[in-house]
Amino acid sequence: MQEEIASTSRQLSRRDVLRAGGALAVGGVLGGCATATRINPAVPPAARIIQDPAQVATTPASAGAAMPLQPRDKPTYVAEARDPVAYSRADALFWNDIMMEHSGFFVMLMPGAELAAERREAEQFERTFAELLRQSSGIARDNYVAFNRKCISEARRLGEWKKRMQQRQASAQIHSLVWPLFFEHTAREADRYAARLEQYNRGSIELDRREVVEFWGTTMGEHSGFIAHLLDPNERLLIDQASKLERAFLRQGLRDVPGDEVMKAAREVLDFKTIGEKGIRNGHIKSIIHPSLAAHVRREAVRFIDELQRT
């Protein structure tokens, strides 16, 4: 991870920044660390130097908004107003894209003739959500309830398929490259998407802080575990950082942590992901993480922060 970080006084590589902070770590304990998650304290300042504003910004989902094709260009859409129409449009643009990408990841991770049938099913889901994503820009007050029902049906259907695949993978009925936990993780997201749309159709847009923290905290923790296992074994420092994030979000738990500390933790995981996305895209971080997956998990961290701010 040798990309240079711009500095007013000198050039310093991101790897050097991380190593400098890592020198403070002995046996996984950071003395005097000010971070909420106990990750390397150099990560947040390094991320603020190298991240693009678009990586961490949200975009109001105005009428007619559409999703670009390239993962690096995709905005993180959020509601532009406090009403069910605005929330429906934002969630449709964000989550239909996420569901489409999940299906595309499954296609990548189900190679060979043995998995041809399952791969075709994933490809069909990818096409279904691509079409729903295309239609999402047309959400308006006179059609949002009906469109939400269509998205709910497809999200539930995809969620059930993911759960079946999880069971088959876990019981060795299929041998794909998808972890059972990844099937479970993505099924939880499909279920949550459908549940939120059902809420909008009842006229409610409120977010429950405890649910937001539990859902997104689990999501961020599992992302961090996925990253740790997809990095090249030689990326020891980054694996250590990812593992610290995983422990902070999953083992410690955040539901009863004061609000400021939860927000700090959310921003730290976003900082880590923005560094990771850039390094993966330009080849300075060795991994088997596809750039589209790096962008995918980074946008979800941006969404986490937005929902926290709305609770």
Q: Is the pLDDT of residue 8 over 60?
A: no
Which pLDDT belongs to residue 252? 60
Residues forming a β-bridge with 30: 25
The span from the CA of 165 to the CA of 179, in Å, is: 10
Identify the CA nearest to 55 among candidates 290, 219, 281, 286: 281
The span from the CA of 88 to the CA of 289, in Å, is: 31
Only one residue has tokens 């909008």, namely 200
For 106-159, what is each residue's pLDDT tens digit?
999 999 999 999 999 999 999 999 999 999 999 999 999 999 999 999 999 999
Q: Is the pLDDT of residue 95 over 70?
A: yes
Which pLDDT belongs to residue 3? 40
The span from the CA of 132 to the CA of 150, in Å, is: 9
Which pLDDT belongs to residue 37? 80
Please count the residues of the chain: 311
C-alpha torsion 101→102→107→111, nearest 10: 130
Are 5 and 17 contacting, i.e. CB atoms less than 8 angstroms apart?
Answer: yes
The span from the CA of 255 to the CA of 75, in Å, is: 28
For 180-207, what is each residue's pLDDT tens digit?
999 999 999 999 999 999 999 999 999 9
Residues forming a β-bridge with 59: 77
Residues 215-225 have a mean pLDDT of 97
Identify the CA nearest to 268 among candidates 65, 41, 69, 72: 41
Q: Is the pLDDT of residue 174 over 70?
A: yes
The most confident of 33-47, 85-99, 262-276, by mean pLDDT: 85-99
The span from the CA of 113 to the CA of 91, in Å, is: 36
Contacts of 3 (CB under 8 A, 6+ apart): 13, 14, 50, 278, 279, 282, 284
Which domains are present in the chain? 1-63+236-311 (no CATH), 83-204 (1.20.1260.120)
Structure tokens at 43: 């990560």
Q: Is the pLDDT of residue 18 over 50?
A: no
Residue type, 187: A
Which pLDDT belongs to residue 10? 36
Which pLDDT belongs to residue 42? 75
Contacts of 63 (CB under 8 A, 6+ apart): 89, 137, 139, 140
Q: Give pTM, 2 decimals.
A: 0.88
Q: Is the pLDDT of residue 258 over 60?
A: yes
Which pLDDT belongs to residue 280? 95
For 30-74, what is each residue's pLDDT tens digit?
333 457 787 877 787 777 777 788 899 999 999 999 999 898 899
- Per the prediction, the chain carries an average pLDDT of 88
The span from the CA of 138 to the CA of 291, in Å, is: 29
The span from the CA of 102 to the CA of 96, in Å, is: 10
Q: Is the pLDDT of residue 14 over 80?
A: no
- Please measure the distance between the N-terminal and C-terminal CA atoms of the chain and give it in whole angstroms: 37
